[in-house]
Structure 1
Amino acid sequence: MTSQRIMNLLKEMTLEEKAAQLMQLVAAFYDDGDEGQITGPMEAMGISEAEVNRAGSVLGVSEAEKIIKIQQAHLAKDRLGIPLLFMADIVHGFKTIFPIPLAMGCSWDTELAESSAAVAAKEAAVSGLHVTFAPMADLVRDPRWGRVMESTGEDPYLNALFARAMVRGFQGSDLTRDTSHVAACVKHFAAYGLAEGGRDYNTVDLSERSLREYYLPAYKAALDEGCEMVMTSFNTVDSIPASGNRKLMRDLLRGEWGFDGVLISDWAAIREMIAHGAAEDDREAALKAITAGVDIEMMTPTYVHHLPQLVAEGLVDEALVDEAVIRILELKEKLGLFDNPLRGADPEAEREVIYCDAHRQVAQELATKSCVLLKNEGVLPLHREQKVAVVGPFAQNGDILGSWSWAGSRETALQLGASMVKLAGDNVVLAEGNGIMSMSKEQLQQADAAVQEADVIVLALGEASEMSGEASSRSNIQLPGAQLQLIQAMKRHGKPLAVVLFNGRPLDLHGVIDQVDAVLEAWFPGSEGGAAIADLLYGVANPSGKLTMSFPYAVGQIPVYYNHYNTGRPKPAEDTEEKYVSQYLDIPNAPLLPFGYGLSYTTFDYSALELSSEVMTPEQSLKVTVEVRNTGELRGVETVQLYVRDIAGEVVRPMKELKDFHKVDLAPGETAKVVFELGEDKLRYYHSDLSFASDAGSFEVFVGPNSRDTLQARFRLIK
């Protein structure tokens, strides 16, 4: 029920004030001086000072003092005293930067992800922000797309769990009373992660059944958790740009799902309907967007310029404008802005809270759990008495935060080399070796000199942060040639060789994993990344991360993902000589490294897979039991994964689908009996008529350390 305060405000607002309330502008429109003056970008965007003064929200400003000044100046000019909403992209941390979301997913630790979001919210809120454009819930299968770094991976079930966790962390339990949290905005609705060719902003084309089966569940999970906002995607869905897609936004999101929160376009996405070929001009774009149910237009003026006239001509019912305004005002009210327009903004508290020791500790723990050991032939863990040469562009580099870390500091990020020196002192020697893209003769000479006395060489390699993220698609996802050359140059020394990778996407690892003795995937690990990786390299911590996105054998396989369909002519084995099956002639079908994969410094043995019954009914679930034994010499954490296959469905079903997982922490020689509860509800899927149900028949259960290496059993569902 809309409050009387908001209804009274709505009655007082002119149509021009209503349209302006739907406009979001960047902070550059506001001087951070005492007068809060409007600045130059106004002319380029073609809007008046009066329109800016009536705008409803601001994007991308930070720091409590700046936000307080802008808010106070705005309130002095706004006729009705309606406060601004301040929003920003706080994707994996504000000032304290956590591992990128793809790395976070590899922790398989939703509680820790929730804690990271709560830390980010606290830092953002004390700096004056009200809304974060996160979590990104896009399912991803193409590592050429740079924005895979913002997702938690290729599985809808796991993505949904992380989406829920991040919303809980950002929003807390009471946004009105608890000013240390911010409103979350799930994005990008919908199916942005399926951009053709992995090329950002590109076309998306898929069936509604696949949309519902794979791409919608994580968005829905975020909304079920109470997420306050949704952001539209740049792409088309069923050949209609998302920001003007009435079926997607008004019928599905608002009608079927009952979402009554704020829907915001992505940057300029409403005007981009013209480039898509779905609108002739700004006027038509505004008409389509408001009809579809988009409330806030980010950084284009189609609403403010055209909605009043569209209403006057009878082409837009003013009630559509009113409902958008009401949703925005209700969010401002829920955040307590009408009673306290400055909310949590506090310059003194900001200095104490930002990047404090407690927050850094959470960042280091998550970075430690997010790293994935991809290969280890007895090189790791290192011993502190060993002479270690750390070589490569990330040996002494703070560029380990990754994309969407705009408020973080590379200067204060803990570097790998310095963190290793802190643990092992003079036994660690550092050399740059090369840059990201190039290697000079002098750099190579320094590297050769550094490794002369070394027992082990650690190569710190990867992408610059600008090489992944938005607008950072790549067709070649190998390491740059200069870094592959460095591997070969160091290999000639004949010493054990370990690689630490800093990157924002799964890479084509040829020239790396086949050339070295150990590979630790560190991703972009955030502010405390260097310390976390040093602890892992020296065995202070034991790697436990598991991949949530497959690593391709070659780019030609992409998209390659674990929950794929079978074909009518499946390849029976990788070494088959049969030609007329679904296969490549020059590479395997399987990825280089599968979903769920990750090694430890210890080893685990799986045995005694048992089902409580060979028959399941809708009323009677199954217990799936497996024994996991630590067969190594070190304590370790194993993520035990449960997958299911529906042998014959009404439509073709995936070869495997993740349904559950449990973590076990085992001492050497210790055995755990892991028990999963598998009910009929986890066997349901979208049928050809879009009904959501299970089918009677045979199913396979798989349990193991990843999606490839599993024990299996069968049961039947009887209905």
Structure 2
Amino acid sequence: MVRKILKYVLILAVAVFAACTGKTAADPLSQKVDSLLALMTFEEKIGQMNQLEGWMNADKEAQIRAGQVGSLLNVADPKEVNRLQRIAMEESRLGIPLLFCRDVIHGFKTILPIPIGQAATWNPQLVEQGARMTAEETVQTGIRLTFSPMVDIARDARWGRLAEGYGEDTYLTEVMGAATVRGYQFSCANNPINNSDQIVNGLAACAKHFAGYGASESGRDYNTTWIPEILLRDVYLPPFKACAEAGAMTMMCSFNALNGLPSSANQHLNIDILRNEWNYDGVLISDWGSGSDLIPHGLCADKQEAAIRCYQAQMEIDMEGHLYEKYAQQLLDKGAIDRKRIDDMVRNILRLKFRLGLFNQPYATTETPEYYSQKALDTALKTAQESAVLLKNNGILPLVNNDNKVNILICGPLADAKKEQLGTWIFDGEPEHSVTPLMAFKQDSRFSVAYEPGLTYSRDTSGEGIERAVKAAKNVDAILYFCGEEAILSGEARCRADINLPGAQCRMMEELAKTGKPAVMIVMAGRPLTIGNEVEKAAAVLYAYHGGTMAGPALLSVIAGDVVPSGHLPMTMPQMVGQVPMYYNRLNTGRPATTPMLINDIPIGCPQFSIGQSSYHLEVGDQPLFHFGYGLSYTTFEYGEVDIVESVGKNHDSGTERQEFSVKCSITNTGKYDAMEVPQLYVHQMSGELARPVKELKGFRKIMIKSGESVTVEFKLTPDDLAYWHEKWKGKTAEYYRTTDPADYEVWVAPDSRCLTRSKKITIH
């Protein structure tokens, strides 16, 4: 008790001292942080930079008592959270609370669709709602930081971690990443939590992986990335900046070496850009052991050198690397690190804890949390419904068109796979709460259900059950074939060289097609798969990703017609793996693809130049299987002419005049279903200082249009929306600046990135 009283007397005394030496109530958060920092020993400061795995032993508990641990990973039991927090609060010298962290990627207990599926909703309001639901479930346990969202741009379908992000497009990822941050942190678009002492009652977000991780060579995780500075700034960095502006309280370094320099030691990324250009005041965290990875990267000879490089790059929290913990004192003694710089790094960590309100309420709010509320389940259901992308429909869907019961065969390895439908990164998800497609259809009186899985899991090559499924198909009206990937085939370190359906699933689709019964193929996967042959054989194709807890009821509602599909692809789907990386916003090249002469059309012995010289693959040409932004509906939409009105506005920062454009387009629902549509705004710069992409997404809306109704959508464009990064050399030094070229620009409003038929031109002066 004496120790506790002394602790609070010391803190109060230092607070008074700080107030008398220039600190004012105008900056109360800084005053609190500096007051506490002044009390801390060097060892306690380093302790705040030390993040450990939460599996406990006596040594780790002793470290907590000594103030040598600042945050813990993977403690999800609220009773254990409170036990460990009491050690920190009541038995350590200063009573600085621990920060409990967890990979809560797309739901805590109630699991949402994987993030790439959430991106397919093209509904940032719904994504924000899902993130808020996730935070509400998570914070009950005392966990206050999640390592999400992942905003790495992914253009290669082989890369397993694309399941955790929002796809290939920078703008879509910016919007979805910022929405996720706001949802986790209980903030809103016009009141982001950044550079503020506002208390965050939600879950601190962590934008990752900074930066360029998604461009790994050959789509192989942890692999090298080579990204020119202009491309880095145009494509890969904007989502991180959007998350920072939305108030993301932390960011995470990436595993990869970017242009030869790993992020944990990358001063250009972490200091020049993140701190100095963006004025980011949050905390920078390593990925698991990524500081120690500087040794196998070949950057450092030993861990002491790795600790120096991480310190120099202002990596503030070392996740399970033990670098600062073991070597900081030695480095201080020999003058390799500076106390003031350590103070600055620890100041950010303490600010984070104050902003989370941990000094006032460090504990789990209850030791018996309640999960799976109706509100949470409804959010998961709606997100799964809107994430499903209809890729093909020959009229078989929706299945329910009258009062007659529909006889169906449900088959495939993912029809009743409770764990697999949850997707990757579901540490706390409980498969027993999953509602599978088979369960949902069996509970619906409109269907008579036969079930023969055919394959027991997605990689099953035996095919022993295929014959039984084919036999059962002969007595039904339609086949529902649930295929795809098990959850373990996507996510971290789950990269594939072959992105066809694994196992015997292709053969099963072929055998089902031979029955002559219409087969609806529902793909549940963590990446775009090369399913062209199977699409040809199917009567309809629904791409459903891994849909989470409520995947079954969601797919039932879409297939039956209770909900009209409204998902659109957030990634291009290639025809063959040899086309990747493949993305819609590519450069045109000097010899853009013409009508291809494919490999089997080339005459034997033909001259070298007789088949032309343009940019395509001999096996498949230059087109994907399905384009970015693509998605069908049960209704039809007609897009009118684009109308553009130019006006003069003001630049917000300088007050100078600028051009502004109002882009309008009328969309009519010409079908019989009320449905949501996603009009997309694309722009192409026709000439400029550098070659520019053939098209770029600059805006989108998700709107409900009733049958027979016409709705006019409006987008705003300014020159800043069209700006990109330029490079200028002065001697041996490159300077980078963002500006808009005076040029003509094509503008489209379209349902996807391919249907760009009615354009209008604008001119930037």
| Bin of the TM-score, shorter chain as denominator length | over 0.9
2:94 alignment partner in structure 1? 80
Task: Measure how far apart 1:390 and its partner are.
Answer: 0.4
**Which secondary structure does the structure 2 equivalent of 1:427 belong to?**
strand
**Root-mean-square deviation (Å):** 2.1
**Which secondary structure does the structure 2 equivalent of 1:293 belong to?**
coil
Task: Measure how far apart 1:569 and its partner are.
Answer: 1.1
| Residues 511-522 of structure 1 aligned to structure 2 (within 5 Å) | 511-522=533-544
**Which secondary structure does the structure 2 equivalent of 1:458 belong to?**
strand
Runs of 4+ in 1 over 6 A off after TM superposition: 174-179, 614-618
Whether 1:171 and 2:193 are equivalent positions in the alignment is no
Q: Residue 329 of structure 1 is aligned with which of 331, 342, 350?
A: 350
Render the CA deviation track for 1:365-410: whole Å, top value 9, x for unaligned: 0110011001111111112612000001111111201111111111
Change (3 A) 1:614 1:697: farther
Task: Measure how far apart 1:442 and its partner are.
Answer: 4.8
Task: Measure how far apart 1:480 and its partner are.
Answer: 1.2
- How many angstroms apart in 1 are the aligned matches of 2:763 and 2:750? 22
Change (3 A) 1:543 1:441: closer
Alpha-carbon contact 1:616-1:680 (below 8 Å) kept: no
Change (3 A) 1:616 1:379: farther
Change (3 A) 1:615 1:574: farther
Task: Measure how far apart 1:14 and its partner are.
Answer: 2.3
Q: TM-score, normalised by structure 1?
A: 0.94
Bigger CA drift: 405-414 or 670-679? 670-679
Change (3 A) 1:394 1:314: same
Alpha-carbon contact 1:613-1:715 (below 8 Å) kept: no
Whether 1:695 and 2:741 are equivalent positions in the alignment is yes
| Residues 249-288 of structure 1 aligned to structure 2 (within 5 Å) | 249-288=270-309
- How many angstroms apart in 1 are the aligned matches of 2:532 and 2:759? 35
Alpha-carbon contact 1:126-1:180 (below 8 Å) kept: no
1:243 alignment partner in structure 2? 264
Bigger CA drift: 297-306 or 61-70? 61-70
Render the CA deviation track for 1:567-590: whole Å, top value 9, x for unaligned: 111123456985211222221212
Q: Residue 364 of structure 1 is aligned with which of 350, 359, 381?
A: 381
Bigger CA drift: 319-328 or 49-58? 49-58
Whether 1:224 and 2:224 are equivalent positions in the alignment is no
Q: Residue 373 of structure 1 is aligned with which of 381, 390, 394?
A: 390
Alpha-carbon contact 1:53-1:77 (below 8 Å) kept: no
- How many angstroms apart in 2 are the aligned matches of 1:297 and 1:134? 17
2:440 alignment partner in structure 1? 419
| Residues 285-300 of structure 1 aligned to structure 2 (within 5 Å) | 285-300=306-321
Render the CA deviation track for 1:307-341: whole Å, top value 9, x for unaligned: 11111111111112111211111111111222222
For 2:47, give the aligned amino acid: A
| Residues 16-415 of structure 1 aligned to structure 2 (within 5 Å) | 16-28=43-55, 30=56, 37-38=58-59, 49=63, 54-173=68-187, 180-342=201-363, 344-348=364-368, 350-351=369-370, 354-383=371-400, 385-398=405-418, 399-415=420-436
Render the CA deviation track for 1:283-320: whole Å, top value 9, x for unaligned: 00000101100100000111111111111111111112
Bigger CA drift: 615-624 or 577-586? 615-624
Whether 1:8 and 2:35 are equivalent positions in the alignment is yes
Task: Measure how far apart 1:688 and its partner are.
Answer: 2.5
Render the CA deviation track for 1:647-698: whole Å, top value 9, x for unaligned: 0111110000001112332222222222322222211111223221111121
Q: TM-score, normalised by structure 2?
A: 0.88
1:590 alignment partner in structure 2? 623
**Which secondary structure does the structure 1 equivalent of 2:37 belong to?**
helix
Identity percentage over the alignment?
Answer: 38
- How many angstroms apart in 2 are the aligned matches of 1:220 and 1:393? 41
Bigger CA drift: 166-175 or 536-545? 166-175
- How many angstroms apart in 1 are the aligned matches of 2:643 and 2:752? 18
**Which secondary structure does the structure 2 equivalent of 1:423 belong to?**
coil
2:605 alignment partner in structure 1? none
Alpha-carbon contact 1:616-1:718 (below 8 Å) kept: no
For 1:590, give the aligned amino acid: Q
- How many angstroms apart in 2 are the aligned matches of 1:622 and 1:8? 51
2:712 alignment partner in structure 1? 673
Task: Measure how far apart 1:177 and its partner are.
Answer: 7.8
2:683 alignment partner in structure 1? 644
Change (3 A) 1:336 1:444: same
The number of residues matched between the two structures is 702
Whether 1:527 and 2:549 are equivalent positions in the alignment is yes
Q: Residue 520 of structure 2 is aligned with which of 486, 495, 498?
A: 498
2:11 alignment partner in structure 1? none
Bigger CA drift: 539-548 or 180-189? 180-189
Bigger CA drift: 52-61 or 443-452? 443-452
- How many angstroms apart in 1 are the aligned matches of 2:201 and 2:245? 22
Task: Measure how far apart 1:26 and its partner are.
Answer: 1.0
Render the CA deviation track for 1:421-443: whole Å, top value 9, x for unaligned: 22236611122111212254652
Stretches of structure 2 that go unaligned for 5 or more consecutive residues are 1-26, 188-192, 599-609, 651-656, 729-735
**Which secondary structure does the structure 2 equivalent of 1:437 belong to?**
coil
1:34 alignment partner in structure 2? none
**Which secondary structure does the structure 1 equivalent of 2:300 belong to?**
coil
- How many angstroms apart in 1 are the aligned matches of 2:532 and 2:673? 30
Render the CA deviation track for 1:31-57: whole Å, top value 9, x for unaligned: 6xxxxx447xx9xxxxx8579862100
For 2:38, give the aligned amino acid: K
Change (3 A) 1:717 1:424: same
